[in-house]
Amino acid sequence: MIKIRKRLADTGFGVLALIVFVFSAFPVYWMINTSFLPNNRIRGENLAFFPTPDVFTLNNYRAAMFGEERAPFPPAVLNSMGVTFLTVVIALVVGFAAALALTRFDFKGRRTFILMILVVQMIPGEAMIISLFRIIDGWLLLNTIIGLTLVNIVGVLPFTVWTLRGFVNGVPKELEEAAMIDGCSRATAFWRITFPLLAPGLVATGVFAFIQAWNEFVMALVIMQRPDAMTLPLWLRTFVQATQATNWGAVMAAAVLIAIPVVIFFLIVQGRMTGGLVSGAVKG
Amino acid sequence: MSSTLLDSPAPPRQETRQRRRPSYVPWLLLSATMVILGVLTGYPLLRLVVMSFQEYERAQLMGQPAEWVGFDNYATILTDVDGFWTVLLRSFVLMVVLVVVTMVLGMLVALLMIRVGKAMRLLVSVGLLLAWAMPSLAATTVWGWVFDTQYGVVNNLLTAITGDRWFGHSWLINPWGFFLILTCIVVWGAVPFVAFTLYAGLTQIPEEVIEAAQLDGASAFQRFRLIQVPYVRGIITVLVVLSMIWDLKLFTQVFVLQDIGGDRELTNTIGVYIYQVGMAQGHYGLASAIGVIFLIVMLAISFPYVRRTLREEVQ
Amino acid sequence: MKKNRLVGAAASAITLTLALSACGNAGGAAAPEETGPGEVRVWLVGSDTPKEARDYLKQTFEEQNEGSTLVIEEQAWDGLVDKYTTALSGSDAPDVVEIGNTQAAAFTSAGYFREITADEFETLGGSDLLPGFVEAGDWEGKHYALPYYSGSRVVFYSKQVLGDTPVPTTLDEYVQTAVDLKTDDLSGVYWPGQDWYNALPFIWENGGYVAEQAEDGTWDAGFSSEGGLAGLEQIQTIMTEGNNAPADANETDLQVPFCEGKVAFLSAPSWIQWSINAPEEPEDPEGVPGCASTYGSDLEGMALPGKDGGAAQVFAGGSNIAIAQKSARPDLAMSAYEIMLSDEYQSILAGIGLFPAKTSLFEKVDQSTSIGAASAEAAANAKLTPASPKWADVESQMLLPTAFTKIASGDDVKTVAEQLDADIEEILNS
C-alpha cells in the first residue's frame, strides 16, 4: 500500500519535473527551432515544430553573420568579449582590494566608505547616462572598448566590493595568523591560505559581473554608436528594428549566437557559483 | 544594499583584528575604487543634482549655457500624478509581484529537485541552466516572438487547441497582458538562480535531521516550515534583497518589450520613464530631478537596513 | 604561483585592450580646420536609399576628394531622435545625417546642425528645392537641413484580389469598400494599428487638424475637434471592421500579407512596389520574398481618394539631410552633401519612385504607371505635421502610434482623442 502510494507520488513529482523542464526550455527550444527554419515555415499558419531535414536550413545563420545590410557580426563578438573580459577582471581585482581594506583593516572612514558603497547602488543608472556620456566623450573614448568598459565597471564595482567583502569576512583570519606564526609573511599567508578559500566567492562575484557586462544595453546604446563598435546586444537590436521586414529566422539565429558563449561559461562555473553564494550565506 | 548574510555578523574573533598596521595600506587598497567611483559616479552624481535645478535640454547639450530654474523641475515632477507617481507606484508593485513569484516558484522548484531522482534532477537542471544563461535582451526578443501577434507559436497553439481564431490576438496591447508577459520573461530568467541557490542550501541540511523529524511524524509541510526554511533563511534573505534590487532596476526587458508592442504610457517603469523623459524627449533637467527624487525614495526605504548594517560595523 | 597567474591575466588584459581598442577609432578630436584627405561618415536611415545611390555617392565622393573615404552607416528609424541627441553632440559625430522631416526641428532649434549659408543654399538648388521640406529644416530664418527626398503614400491593389469590385473614388466609398470586402482571410484595407501616417489624411479630409498655433503661440491639438473626431470614427471603422492587421503592429512587412493575397487595399510608401515585385525565391539569403509572378504582376496604385473625390491631403513623408555641427571635416562633409543634392544623385532616387529634393527633377519619376501617377498626385496634396521643434518629442514618445493602437482595438474614439490632444498640447506647450 505504502509502496504504491510512494510510487504514485514519485510519478507525480516526475511529471512536475518534466513540466518545469518544458517551461524553462521551451523558449530556448523555440528560438533554436526557428533559427533553422526557412521563412515560409516561420510565418504564416503552417508552422514547423521541428527542423526536419526537408525544411532545415542554415540560411538564417548566414544572413545573421554575413548580412551586409547591418552592423557586422565579428567586431560585435570581439567588442562584447573584450568589454566583458576587461570588466570582470578589473572589477574583481579592484573590488577585491577594496574588500580587503574593508575587512582586514580598521581605519577612520571605513564606515563612511561602506555607506557610500551602499548609497551608490541606489542611484538610478538611467539618470546618469548623459553625464557619463559626456565624460567618456570628453576623454575621446566614444566607440572604444575602454570607454564602455569604464562605464560597465562603474556599474558593477559597488556590488562587487560589497559581495566580496562578505566572502572575505567569511574566511577566519586566524587561518592567516596561524600561517604567520609558522613563519610566512603576511602577504604569503594571505595568498597561500585565504585566497584559495575565496575562490568560490570570486567566481560567484565574477559571474554577476559577467552577466551585467555581457547584457549591458543602455549605456552601450549611447557610447558605441558606430556599426563596428557595437556590442552583441546592440547588434541584435539592429535586426528587430529594421524598417524592412523583420527576418525572424535571422533574429533567432542571432539570439542563439549571443546565448552560446553564456551557456558555455555557465556550464563551466555553475557548480561553484551557487556553492559560493551558499557558503557565503549559510555561514551567516 | 545587498546581501545581509553575506557578511557574517562580527564573531568574537574580530576583536583581535586591530593590530598595528601602517595606516596607509587600507587607503592604498581602496585607492582604485575611490578613483573610479569618484570620477565616474561622484562627479556624475554632482552633475545630476546640478542639472536637476537647471533647464537643461538638447540645446544645452550642444553647449548653450543652462538656465537656473530653482525647484521648478521638482515641482513639475512632484505634481505629476499621472506621470511620475503612477510610474513610481507601478514600479514598486511590479517589483513586489516579481520578487514574490520568483521566490515562491524558485523554492518550489528547489524542493522538487530534492524530491525527484537523479535523472529527472539533471533534466530540470539543464532546463533551468538554459533559461538562466539567456541574455536578457535575447530572452525578451525570443518571448516577444513566442507571443507574436501574427506568427507567434502561442497564438498558433491556442488556435489549434481551442478551435477559435487566435491569429492577430495581441498580447501586449493591454497593459495587463504586457505585464503578464513581462513577468514571464523576468521570472523565467530569475527562477533558475534562486532555485539553484536554494537547492544548494537545502542539500546542506544533514539528512539525520530530516529523518529524525520524519520519525517524529512531522508532515512534509511541517518539515518544510520548521526545518528547511529556518535552515536556508539566510539564503532567502540574500535572494530577496538581490531580487528587489534587480527588479527595481529593470530596464532592458521593459524597453525592448515596449518596442515590440504595448502602450508606453501605461507600461513605463521608473528606469524606462527616466530614459523617456531624458534621452528621448531631451528634458535632461527633468530627468535629473526624477533621478534625485527616486534616489531619496530609495534611501528612505532602505534606511533601516543601512542603519543596521552600519551598526554591525561598529566593532 | 597564483600571483603569477594573476599578473599574467592583468598583462593579457592590457594587451587585449590595446589590440581591441584599435577597432573602435576614438578619432573625432581633429581640429575643425584640418584639410587634406580624411573620412566622412554619412548616416542614412532605413533602407529607402537604394544601393545604386549609395554606390554612386561613395564613388563620386572618392573621385572628387582623392585619398578621402566615405562611409555610409545605416541607422534605424526607431529611437533615431534618442541616438542623434547624443551622437551628434559627441566628439565622434557623423558628418552628414539624414533625419525625418518631422524630426528635423528638434535639432535645428538646438544647434545640432551646421548652418547652410545663403550662398551655399543657392548653389545647392535654391528655390528649386522642395519648399515644404526647406521650411522643415529652417530655424529662425536660417537654413540648417535641406530636403533629401519625399514620398507620400499610395494605395496599392491587385485586380486578382479586388475582382469586380469598383475602385472607390471618395473617402467614404473607400471606407465602405473596405468593410464590404473584409472576410476572415481578407483585409479590405490592411492597416496595422501603429501606422499613424495613414491616419492623418482622414483627419484633414474631415476638416480636422493635428495641432494649430494660436496668436499667443500656444498650440491647440485637434484630434478631438469635430473634424478630427469624424476622421477618427472613419479610421476606427476601417481598422476594426475592414482590417485583419494586428492592432499593435507597425508598418513593417507590409508586403507579406499583400503577397499572401490577403489584402485588397494597402496604403504604403511608393517604394514598397519593389518589395512586392521581388521574386518569390530571392537570390540573396537575406532578401525578403515578394510575389512578382502573382499579385505583383498586376499591381496598381491610386492616390487615396478625398472626401469629395480627387486626391486626399496626405502626409508628406520624407527626409532632410544636414551637416553635423560637430563634424570634424565640414569641408569634406559639404562635398558629400553637394553630391547628395546633385541632379545625378537625386535622379537615382527618382528612378525608384521617390520624389527628389528638387522640383525640377519631378519629371524623372516615372509617371506612366498608375503607381507613379498616383504618387505624383499624392505629393501634390501632401501636408506636414505641425512646425514645432517639440513635435519630434511627440513622435519619440510614440503618442500617435499608441493612440491609434487603442482606436484599432475599439476604444472609445472621443476618450482617446481627448487624451491624445492633452498629451500633445502638454509637449508642444511645455
Q: Which amino acid is at A31?
A: M
What fold is seen in the domain B88-242? MetI-like fold (1.10.3720)
Q: What number of other Cβ atoms are within 10 A of residue A74's Cβ?
A: 11
Q: What's the grid cell of residue C82?
A: 534618442
Residue B1: list chain A partners with CB under 8 A. Answer: 118, 121-122
Q: Look at residue B25 and tell me whether its pLDDT is greater than 80.
A: yes
Contact C406 B263 (CB under 8 A): yes
Q: What are phi and psi of C163, to 5 degrees?
A: 65, -135
Give chains near A: 3+ CB pairs under 8 A.
B, C
Going A278 to A280 to A281 to B2, the CA torsion angle's sign is negative
**Predicted pLDDT at C33:** 56
Contact B264 C397 (CB under 8 A): yes
Is C31 in the A-facing interface, judged by CB distances under 8 Å?
Answer: no
Report the C-alpha gap between B111 and C384 in whole angstroms.
62
**Predicted pLDDT at C277:** 87
Is C28 in the A-facing interface, judged by CB distances under 8 Å?
Answer: yes
Q: C222 near C202, Cβ under 8 Å?
A: no
pLDDT bucket at B2, cuts 50 / 70 / 90? very low
B184/C254: higher pLDDT: B184
**Predicted pLDDT at C32:** 47
Is C30 in the A-facing interface, judged by CB distances under 8 Å?
Answer: no
pLDDT tens per residue across span B225-248: 888 999 888 889 888 988 998 899
Is C275 in the A-facing interface, judged by CB distances under 8 Å?
Answer: yes
**Predicted pLDDT at A44:** 63
Report the C-alpha gap between A238 and C94 in whole angstroms.
18
Q: Which amino acid is at B95?
A: M
Report the C-alpha gap between B39 and B45 in whole angstroms.
10
Looking at 3.90.15.10, 3.40.190.10, 3.30.460.80, 2.40.110.20, the CATH number of the domain C36-150+317-370 comes to: 3.40.190.10
Q: Which of residues 55-114 of B touch A (CB under 8 A)?
A: 61, 109, 112-113
The ipTM of this complex is 0.89
Dihedral angle at the C-alpha atoms of C270, C275, C279, C285, nearest 10 degrees?
A: 150
Q: What's the grid cell of residue B257?
A: 518589450
Q: C193 near C407, Cβ under 8 Å?
A: yes
Contact C249 B264 (CB under 8 A): no
Please give the mean pLDDT across all residues of chain A: 86
Contact A94 B270 (CB under 8 A): no
Q: Look at residue B8 and tell me whether its pLDDT is greater than 70.
A: no
Q: Look at residue B150 and tell me whether its pLDDT is greater than 90.
A: no
| DSSP-based three-state secondary structure for A86 | helix
Is B129 in the A-facing interface, judged by CB distances under 8 Å?
Answer: yes
Is C423 in the A-facing interface, judged by CB distances under 8 Å?
Answer: no
C305/B25: higher pLDDT: C305
By Cβ distance, the residue of C41, C86, C288 closest to A133 is C86
Residue A246: list chain C partners with CB under 8 A. Answer: 252-253
User: Average of pLDDT values for B91-106?
Assistant: 97
By Cβ distance, the residue of A75, A78, A140 closest to C26 is A140
Mutate to test the interface with C, among A241, A246, A251 (most CBs of C within 10 A): A241
Domain boundaries, chain B: 88-242
Q: Look at residue B275 and tell me whether its pLDDT is greater than 80.
A: yes
**Predicted pLDDT at A90:** 97
Helices (H) and strands (E) in chain B, counts: 16, 2
Chain A residue at shortest CA distance from B153:
A47
Q: C367 near C301, Cβ under 8 Å?
A: no
| DSSP-based three-state secondary structure for B20 | coil
What fold is seen in the domain A67-282? MetI-like fold (1.10.3720)
Stated length of chain C: 430
Contact B265 C402 (CB under 8 A): yes
Are both C36-150+317-370 and C153-315+397-428 of the same fold? yes
Domain boundaries, chain A: 2-64, 67-282
**Predicted pLDDT at B20:** 53
Q: pLDDT tens digits, chain A, 284 residues: what are they?
A: 678 888 888 899 999 999 999 999 999 999 999 999 987 778 766 778 888 888 898 988 988 888 776 778 999 999 999 999 999 999 999 999 999 999 888 888 888 999 999 899 899 999 999 999 999 999 999 999 999 999 999 999 999 998 898 888 888 877 777 777 777 777 788 788 888 888 888 888 898 899 999 999 999 999 998 988 999 999 998 876 544 556 788 889 999 999 998 888 888 887 666 666 665 544 43
Q: Look at residue B145 and tell me whether its pLDDT is greater than 80.
A: yes
Chain A residue at shortest CA distance from B185:
A27
Residue C109: list chain B partners with CB under 8 A. Answer: 59
pLDDT tens per residue across span B32-80: 999 999 999 999 999 999 999 999 999 999 989 999 999 999 999 999 9
Locus of grid cell 578621402: C68
Please report which helix (H) or strand (E) contains residue C60, including its range: helix C51-64
DSSP state of C358: B
Domain boundaries, chain C: 36-150+317-370, 153-315+397-428
Residue C110: list chain A partners with CB under 8 A. Answer: none
Q: pLDDT tens digits, chain C, 430 residues: what are they?
A: 344 444 444 444 444 444 343 333 333 444 445 678 999 999 998 878 888 999 999 999 999 999 999 999 988 887 888 899 999 999 999 999 999 988 998 899 999 999 999 999 999 999 999 888 998 899 999 999 999 998 888 999 999 999 889 999 999 999 999 999 999 889 999 998 888 989 999 999 999 999 999 999 899 999 999 999 999 999 999 999 999 888 877 777 788 889 888 999 999 988 888 888 888 876 665 566 788 888 988 999 999 999 998 899 999 888 999 999 999 999 999 999 999 999 999 999 998 888 899 989 988 888 888 998 898 888 888 888 888 888 888 887 888 988 998 899 889 999 999 999 999 998 999 7
Triad A238, A258, B97: Cα angle to 5°? 90
Q: Which residues of B make CB contacts under 8 Å with C?
A: 57-59, 61-64, 149-150, 165, 168, 170, 172-173, 259, 261-265, 276, 279-282
Q: DSSP letter string over chain A?
A: -HHHHHHHHHHHHHHHHHHHHHHHHHHHHHHHHHHTS-GGGTSSS---SS--TTT---HHHHHHHH-TTS--HHHHHHHHHHHHHHHHHHHHHHHHHHHHHHHH---TTHHHHHHHHHHHTTS-GGGGHHHHHHHHHHTT-TTSHHHHHHHHHHHHHHHHHHHHHHHHHHS-HHHHHHHHHTT--HHHHIIIIIHHHHHHHHHHHHHHHHHHHHH--HHHHHH--SGGG--HHHHHHHHHH-SS---HHHHHHHHHHHHHHHHHHHHHHHHHHHHHHHHHHHT-
**Predicted pLDDT at B261:** 76
Contact C256 A75 (CB under 8 A): no
Contact A284 B7 (CB under 8 A): yes
Choose the weakest-confidence range: B147-151, B269-273, C20-24.
C20-24
Contact B58 C107 (CB under 8 A): yes
Top-tier CATH class for C153-315+397-428: alpha beta
User: Average of pLDDT values for B200-218?
Assistant: 87
**Predicted pLDDT at C92:** 92
Is B157 in the A-facing interface, judged by CB distances under 8 Å?
Answer: no
Instruction: For residue C290, give the nearest of C158, C177, C151, C152 by alpha carbon.
Output: C158
Contact B44 A14 (CB under 8 A): no
